[in-house]
Structure 1
Amino acid sequence: MAIWHWIEQTLRSYPELAIFLALAVGYWIGGKKFGSFSLGSVTGTLLAGVIIGQIGIDISPHIKSVFFIMFLFAVGFGVGPQFVRGVANDGLPQAVFAVIVSCLCLFSVYLAAVLSGYGPGLAAGLLAGTQTISASIGLATDAINRLDMSADQIQAQLDAIPVAYAVTYLFGTVGTGWIIAYLGPKILRINLQEECARYEKEMSEGEPDGGMQSAWYQYIVRSFKLTKPDFIAGKTVAQAEAGMTGGERLFLENLRRNGKIIEFDANTVLQVGDVVAVSGRHETLVDWSNRAEEVADQELLQIPIESIDVVVTSKNANGKTLLELSKSPCARGVYVTRIRRGSMGVDIPVQAQTKLHRGDIVSVSGSRKHVESVIEEFGFADRPTSVTDMVFVGSGIVIGGLIGAIVVPVGGIPITLSTSGGALIAGLVFGWLRSFKPKLGSVPSATLWFMNSVGLNVFIAVVGITAGPTFIQGVKEVGIELFFWGLFATSLPMLLAPLIGKYIFRFDPAINLGCCGGARTSTASVAMVAEAAKSNVPMLGYTVPYAISNTFLTLWGMVIVLLLG
């Protein structure tokens, strides 16, 4: 027992160790799978923090403030492009839908809190758990600290937040997925698999026989010796590439002259005796074999091939379909293998009618020459980097925090975004700006993950450890009743959302449930929908509502406290 006493004393003396212990245990618990369900790192960290906090550990509140403001900036930065596109462009219906659903979520929690007589602390935890929006806890904490209450009353409200969150989170996660994925198709009276198959067929309109990949990669490379002066000898490379057969573009990848491979450009004049490596459609190059001598030249055919992620930033690509872009001269000779969208990087279908948006990450492969042309035309290469532009991140958080710190009295009530809310808004703006001006600052995906995941979980660990001594008593007092109110607050918005999408917004049945999951910021539920549909089509409705609702539901943490405080 002496060793346990020593550990307790050490954790009390060095609370930073308690935080890292909560993180380690929380991530370990959260990563455990129970069938297809897992608690997730946030809930795991909260429970670990609560258990560790039973020994009574004092932690400075400034620690959680630092990590939470970092987390909120990362959230805004990740969803910025989709947020602005949804508000300003063709995603507007989905953006408005997300606002309505997020307001329904707030209303259901507010109604449950009023009917049950809960204070702002339990209500804030109820919101965070039922809507699985852990980020709202931070803004709720800021708002409660500003209430006109005694220090003991404020602490009691703060201690109630993790109680309500822990009791309601489980059904908030599992229930949302079950309602959307399994009740959703019945509510809409559709066969989800058939609707997605029909949508994919419509999105494939204009697609080549070989599929969309053949539109982007319908080229082979052959080497030919120019033996006739009446073919392309005497013409420039640009003239030869302009298409000598049926208007098809060809690409001269390499050139051997007098036994040596030489550098060339669009103005180089081809000569009889030259050996050229040519890429083009198979049927086009078959015609070449009748007009030039095909030769085996392995060295000439050793053309560098590159696979790379391209972040779309160009207005010339924004809103264009893959089929439209595949006809661009710079897009020939490469193919698209994957498209990821939004801060969660969800995969969307690679179909002829799939539209690209600024901020999309498109994985392309092809010869280095053609890949570089695509990068220059459409965006920038998202090459691996470990360097974060901390001038960009730090100044963004400071600017947002200064704006959020402004207090505006409304009817005698001091209204403020708080520094945390300001950081969220700054993240939205900075993320949007970087989607078309990538040189503004580099924030690698690994850094963004750290700011998102570890930033939030350090905050949650401190919340759990601080509330630990009163947590169990709180569960005993309100646990069962709170669980049923949580079931109500989770279910009401998700039962109404598919009907709102169908009858008011007229969403296509194939993406309606994706919109619903996005509007509830529930990635797990949309993954369940995609699994049930055996298609990624529902993901097309996910990203814009997610970006909008992720912002609003986070802000509701402050609003629910103002409504009840």
Structure 2
Amino acid sequence: MDWFVITLRQYPELAVFLTLSLGYFIGSFKVGSFSLGTVTSVLLVGVLVGQLDIAISANVKSVFFLMFLFAVGYSVGPQFFGGLKKDGLPQMLYAAIVCVFCLIFPFLIGKLMGYDMGLTAGMLAGSQTISAVIGVASDTINHLNIPADQKASLINKIPVAYAVTYIFGTAGSAWLLASIGPRLLGGNLVEKAKELELKLGGSSIGDDPAIASAYDRVIYNAYQIAGHSYACNKTVAQTEAELQSKGRRLFIQRIRKGKEIKDVTPDTIIEENDVIALGGRREYMMNYVAVNEKEVLDAELLNFPLEVLSVMIIRKEVVDKTLAELRQADYMHGVVVRTIKRAGIEIPVLPNTKLNKGDMIELIGTKRDVEAAIVHIGYADRPTNTTDMIFVGLGILLGGLFGAISLRIGGLPISLSTSGGALISGLIFGWLRGQHPTFGRIPEPALWVMNNVGLNMFIAVVGITAGPSFVEGFKEAGWGLFIAGAAATALPLIFALLLGRYVFKFHPIITLGCAAGSRTTTAALGAIQDAVKSKTPALGYTVTYAVGNTLLIIWGVLIILLMS
């Protein structure tokens, strides 16, 4: 054991990876629907490992924290600036107001309880579940004109307060929005979610949770044409038009004539005993009743390659169109939209869902049809392992330089700090990527590493560094900090729900999504969607999430300035 401890002190990088491994392991456990989560688990394990008195350079956490913040900004940049359009402005204003109260309530509670800036900043970070505040607030404290030992004491209190208040910040937010939220918004939100889906062009086929998971799938079946079938002796174009007139957007991809299999054209004639490969979204196939045709198992006919490809929407002819309008375009023949993601969040695939610039839509169809559609929609996000590190390195450098600029107001140094600058730079560079997707590519796995591992490496070092003083700080704060954190979590959320209902008059389902997004609590979004049995709350989540993720991180600077 002595050898193990000495080795960790001699090679502190091993202590970091030990902390990450155990933290991810503990964070994977759930009790019911509750989990500590990876970040809190890594922090607590780091505190435990930190009892071994392991010294780690502060530069290590700074590198990973800047990488994390740039990735955050990059992810939400298109939605942040896209929200400035007319349709997104109400949600942006709503999120900004909610974020202001997410700052005011922890500040007032901290003053009332007599907490110093370290405990108050940690309470802000934990109660609002915004881990990045730990780093931003620490950077700001380091810029204050106070003794070094006082800085260290204040900085070490931040993770203490974060750990104590984060539990209710996460679980409490999900419970409040999913259980109390419907009561504050008029109740029976399952019916209201169904109404919203119908308004967006959905149908009762999505009401059964058992088939909701099949909603995004595309299937192909083979049918043998009988002599009395309405498709018999008609062209492929006429048959597809007949199907679509009955609300079934289905396509004939191939045809078997005797022993010969052919790709079809719009003018191909369908004859008796021909076997057609008919495909489309599962809900349309489920609505298709083959009265005159007989479904057959024809593995050879159905064994044709399909291309599944994510495409970023950038073309003006598609932006602000509904999905129904996109489907009517000639170039969408044989192509099905399987999923739509906005800021990485999956939103409902319904006819009246409006498409925004920067949305990622997943197309499925034959390679010929998909490639023809891409030209009119935007940029194909083809799988790649290559990250544009010129873009990433330059973005973090420019952001850090901007954040390092300090202004003195009344003798107090004011700056965004390098961390705040990296966030702003990420927003701008993410928006540039959305406007010109030919450069600045960060593949999703690489973005996950920057975002997830970047944050947890930072948190691991924070925990190890603060470990020796953590227990003493917890004793000083006491359990009253947990209650104070619960109040700091609940009050802004209750206010957010009432604000959405009575001031902005959003649809109650959209209000729930906006409240979760403004607080950047993805776990709560999942709980809300389960509670209302619909994906529609995500329509209010994406723009507000972009605003919340930006402002709440910047509050790490403001809370220190307010408390100082």
TM more than 0.5: yes
TM-score tier, shorter chain, comes to 0.7 to 0.9
SS of residue in 2 equivalent to 1:173: helix
- Greater shift, 215-224 or 429-438, is seen at 215-224
CA distance change for structure 1 residues 263 and 200 in 2, over 3 Å: closer, same or farther?
A: closer
> What does residue range 479-490 of structure 1 map to in structure 2 within 5 Å?
479-490=478-489
Other-structure match for 2:387: 388
- Greater shift, 353-362 or 199-208, is seen at 199-208
| Structure-2 separation of matches of 1:136 and 1:9 | 33
Q: Deviations over 1:46-73 (max 9, x none)?
A: 0000000011111111111000000000
Other-structure match for 1:227: none
Return the index of the structure with the highest Cα Rg. 1
CA distance change for structure 1 residues 218 and 491 in 2, over 3 Å: closer, same or farther?
A: closer
CA displacement at 1:410 relative to structure 2: 2.6
Question: How many residues in Structure 1 have an aligned counterpart in Structure 2?
Answer: 533
Other-structure match for 1:332: 333
> What does residue range 388-427 of structure 1 map to in structure 2 within 5 Å?
388-427=387-426
Other-structure match for 2:150: 153
SS of residue in 1 equivalent to 2:51: helix
- Greater shift, 366-375 or 442-451, is seen at 366-375
- Greater shift, 150-159 or 415-424, is seen at 415-424
| Structure-2 separation of matches of 1:395 and 1:242 | 55
Other-structure match for 1:317: 318
Q: Deviations over 1:49-98 (max 9, x none)?
A: 00000111111111110000000000000011111111234111111111
| Structure-1 separation of matches of 2:163 and 2:80 | 29
CA displacement at 1:438 relative to structure 2: 1.2
Q: Deviations over 1:325-355 (max 9, x none)?
A: 1111111211122222214x3x211111111
Uncovered stretches (5+) of structure 2, i.e. residues with no partner? 226-232
Uncovered stretches (5+) of structure 1, i.e. residues with no partner? 225-231, 233-238, 290-296
CA distance change for structure 1 residues 254 and 55 in 2, over 3 Å: closer, same or farther?
A: closer
Other-structure match for 1:33: 30
CA distance change for structure 1 residues 409 and 364 in 2, over 3 Å: closer, same or farther?
A: same
CA displacement at 1:116 relative to structure 2: 1.4
SS of residue in 2 equivalent to 1:88: coil
SS of residue in 1 equivalent to 2:438: helix
| Structure-2 separation of matches of 1:492 and 1:532 | 21
Q: Is 1:113–2:110 an aligned residue pair? A: yes
SS of residue in 2 equivalent to 1:87: coil
CA displacement at 1:452 relative to structure 2: 0.5
CA displacement at 1:188 relative to structure 2: 1.6
CA displacement at 1:483 relative to structure 2: 1.1
| Structure-2 separation of matches of 1:422 and 1:457 | 20
Q: Deviations over 1:216-275 (max 9, x none)?
A: 989999999xxxxxxx9xxxxxx997999789999997899xx99999999x999xxxx9
CA distance change for structure 1 residues 260 and 32 in 2, over 3 Å: closer, same or farther?
A: closer
Q: Is 1:144–2:141 an aligned residue pair? A: yes
Q: 1:223, 1:300 within 8 Å by CA — same for their partners in 2?
A: no
CA displacement at 1:444 relative to structure 2: 0.6
Q: Deviations over 1:187-239 (max 9, x none)?
A: 12221101101111111179999x99999989999999xxxxxxx9xxxxxx9
Q: Is 1:543–2:542 an aligned residue pair? A: yes
> What does residue range 32-181 of structure 1 map to in structure 2 within 5 Å?
32-181=29-178
| Structure-1 separation of matches of 2:473 and 2:118 | 12
CA displacement at 1:433 relative to structure 2: 1.5
SS of residue in 2 equivalent to 1:362: strand
| Structure-2 separation of matches of 1:40 and 1:215 | 28
Q: 1:223, 1:278 within 8 Å by CA — same for their partners in 2?
A: no
The percent of aligned pairs where both chains have the same amino acid is 49
Other-structure match for 2:6: 9
Q: 1:253, 1:278 within 8 Å by CA — same for their partners in 2?
A: yes
Other-structure match for 2:228: none
> What does residue range 123-522 of structure 1 map to in structure 2 within 5 Å?
123-204=120-201, 304-343=305-344, 345=345, 347-522=346-521
CA displacement at 1:446 relative to structure 2: 0.5
**TM-score normalised by the chain length of structure 2:** 0.85
SS of residue in 1 equivalent to 2:336: strand
- One-letter identity of the residue aligned with 2:25: W
Q: Is 1:553–2:548 an aligned residue pair? A: no
Other-structure match for 1:228: none
CA displacement at 1:382 relative to structure 2: 2.3
Other-structure match for 2:229: none
CA displacement at 1:358 relative to structure 2: 2.1
